[in-house]
Amino acid sequence: MANVSPTRGDMTGHPDASEMRDRYARVLGGRDVALVDGPVFLLGLYCAASPWIVHYTASQPSLVTHNLIMGVAIGLLALGFTRAPERMYGLSWAMCALGVWMIISPWVVGENPDAGVVWNNIIIGALAVILGLVCAGTAAKASSKS
């Protein structure tokens, strides 16, 4: 009877193995931070929806618009990080700046914000700074490898 079961050989002997490895490395180049793209997008989504989640749409109308715009901006950065990482990870520092602005914005944009609004924006801002630093650090590490 013939042996019809597939046998797997070692790929290292294949003549195109080094080319395939190089192509795979080019495709994935700089994608160490791919796990951060999703949380950045979710942070932007939460930031945009936070006025309705924390219920300050009536008491802080200027912060409602502010958080909606900032959430959309953070979400667009995340989509850019996903779509064109080699070009967009230079904007990781912008993410940090957006985070710092989110921390101070309740007092600049808002009118006598209560503790819930302040803590909401501080947490969003701190997470944006942390995720921005992770993106910037990973982008720097990836560019030093190249």
Give the pLDDT confidence of 91-111 residue by residue, as tens digits: 889 999 999 999 999 999 999
Higher pLDDT, 25 or 84: 84
What tens digit of pLDDT does each residue of 71-81 get? Answer: 999 999 999 88
Assess contact for 73 and 97: CB atoms under 8 A.
no
- What gap in Å lies between CA 1 and CA 99, rounded to an integer? 69
Q: Is 70 exceeded by the pLDDT of residue 144? A: no
Assess contact for 123 and 105: CB atoms under 8 A.
no
The pLDDT confidence band at residue 47, using thresholds 50, 70 and 90, is very high
What pLDDT does residue 122 have? 97
